[in-house]
Structure 1
């Protein structure tokens, strides 16, 4: 009777282990399937931009002004299962104007799985003292969690799940009128979690995928703004903010 109980217990334990292994394996597989790659054209144009340097480092993809003069930095976290290189083109002009940009590579392509602190990424440019943190979509949610260690927060088609209403930092939140994933309504609905001085801007014609260069995204709206116009608009809004973030 005792042996029979031990056999049953052993089978139960092995079944539990098997379920855990399958669950972990399935999760790992899911994080690697359907990753949205960077579009080759915009990336090639950014690589050819003489006003910036692009370095592929352990901290992330680092965009720096070609003259080496940079007093502020921005750590930028990609959206879920989006190739980090997809944000190089839209952020290149921000770097060209004097802000060093570090685009992170989230663990397993999902920002929530990446538990590294902000200093892991700011170490790419140790001479810079003023750092903002930002992100797109799920990357923005993670950026909110790191924002208390930063001087500013930038959100692309995203909103916080963390209460930063009492935080002493500047916030620039960009929404897209055609974004059907992080809709302007959802972003406005989470406004109370941001500091009183946070600036919310809705970009007319922008979809969720307009904030990067990785092609259409399932469930998103159809953009009516061109990639060139989007890049110019984001640059116009982001450059003055990253250089002197309002509080």
Structure 2
């Protein structure tokens, strides 16, 4: 399996799931997933699905005005000449099926209610981006770590595909990564992307980088 491609396609499905809860399910073809109107905060207007996508054609699919963003999944586009600037770079990651073993710290628990999702989203920092309709999507599991007083101290999202499970929106301390591996479906590879200290934490939990990505923003 090409882990880079698997991570890219899983992430596009996740972006589509989030945007669908905002009335924008998006469109997918061999080149990209995209939405014609501005995506919710923190989410791209397009995600490339292969190398060598035509930049002009890609931008014609989206609202190509200030605030537009593109996830350049293979870090091979030059959008600077179209008025974009790099927002951040990261690494796609994967973890083969493996027993994560026992670990310290509280377990991650699925979020099952709209109120619980609202508290999770507030702790995450993205607020209204995450809507209750996400909880009805059978592919999506929102996980929370709770303190003894019931407050949310960390969490993540799992997105189940045919051959891999995606990991995204991980927040909290480094113990979240081993806990996340224990909470994921057994025997299924995990994919996602991270950068900086989060990439280092994921690597210590058994994830491996598979290739770079770049997110472009039009100021």
Higher helix share goes to which structure? 1
Of structures 1 and 2, the one with the larger relative CO (CA 8 A, separation 6+) is: 2
Higher strand share goes to which structure? 2
Larger radius of gyration: 1
For the aligned pair, the TM-score class normalised by the smaller chain equals: under 0.3
